[in-house]
Structure 1
Amino acid sequence: MERIRITKEFTFETGHALYGYDGKCRNVHGHSYHLSVTVIGTPIQEEGHKKLGMVIDFGDLKTIVKEEIVDPFDHATVFNGKTPHVTLAKTLSENGHKVILADYQPTSENMVSDFARKIRKRLPEGIELHSLKLRETGTAYAEWFASENP
């Protein structure tokens, strides 16, 4: 049977700051992120199966990505937890703000890699993560491909 790729797209709003960066992004700011998640697999061929013909139900993929990425990151501010931003993060958190202390500098490149790890762990057997595209702005994005990250 043929292997087919399917893609589901997501949007979320996230703030971040790049500690030690020499440009404007050292300041706390936000983006309307757009995430495209592409998985690959063989469509279910078992007659009578409620998901006959599907690689994975788009709703099931949506649940995984919402729980792992969208819900935690939407309207949160992400800081590198290994920097003095921890102090700012603590103050924000104590005042009711949603904060994520990542173990990496929160660039699009590092975020897309983190997202790939999280999504890969949740996919059902026989379904593989093919690629991710994380668009930070209308003209800038980071991509992750499984073929380049075994």
Structure 2
Amino acid sequence: MSNVRITKQFSFETGHALYGYDGKCKNVHGHSYKLSVTVIGKPITDRTNVKFGMVIDFSDLKKIVKEEIVDQFDHASVFNETTPHIELANELKSRGHHVILVNYQPTSENMVIDFSKRIKSRLPDIIKLHSLKLQETDTSFAEWYASDNL
């Protein structure tokens, strides 16, 4: 049986700031992120299985990505916990804002690496994460490929 790639797309709104950056993105701002998740596997051949013919049910993939990324990052502000932005983060938290502290600079590049780890940890063993595309704007995105990370 052939391997098949399937892709599901997601969108969420997230704010961030890049501490120490020399451009506009040093300021707190937000993006309407689009995340494309592509997995690879063999379609189920067992005719008695309710998922017969599927690599993974799109709704199962949606549940994983929703729980690991969308529900956590949507309408959150992401800051690097090792920068002075921690003061801003703590102030926002004290006022009831949803803040995520990470141990990396919250660029699209680093976020897509983080997302790959979160998704891979939840996939069934027979399904592999093939790639992620995190689109920050209509013309700017970061991509992660399993084949680049062997």
Aligned twin of 2:69: 69
Q: How far 1:125 sits from its partner (Å)? A: 1.4
Which amino acid counterpart does residue 7 of structure 2 have in structure 1? T
Which amino acid counterpart does residue 29 of structure 2 have in structure 1? H
- 2:74 matches 1:101: no
Unpaired runs of 5+ residues, structure 2, are none
* Residues in 2 aligned to 1:33 and 1:149: alpha-carbon distance in whole angstroms: 23
Aligned twin of 2:135: 135
Q: How far 1:139 sits from its partner (Å)? A: 0.4
Aligned twin of 1:26: 26
* Residues in 1 aligned to 2:146 and 2:97: alpha-carbon distance in whole angstroms: 34
Q: How far 1:47 sits from its partner (Å)? A: 1.4
In percent, how many aligned pairs have the same letter?
A: 69
SS at structure 2 position matched to 1:137: coil
Point out 4+ residue stretches in structure 1 off by more than 3 angstroms. Answer: none
Aligned length: 150
Which amino acid counterpart does residue 132 of structure 1 have in structure 2? L
SS at structure 2 position matched to 1:22: coil
Which amino acid counterpart does residue 85 of structure 1 have in structure 2? H
SS at structure 1 position matched to 2:141: strand
SS at structure 2 position matched to 1:5: strand
TM-score by length of 1: 0.99
Which amino acid counterpart does residue 56 of structure 1 have in structure 2? I
* Residues in 1 aligned to 2:47 and 2:140: alpha-carbon distance in whole angstroms: 44
Aligned twin of 2:82: 82
Unpaired runs of 5+ residues, structure 1, are none
Aligned twin of 2:120: 120
Q: How far 1:48 sits from its partner (Å)? A: 1.1
* Residues in 1 aligned to 2:90 and 2:67: alpha-carbon distance in whole angstroms: 24
* Residues in 1 aligned to 2:74 and 2:121: alpha-carbon distance in whole angstroms: 21
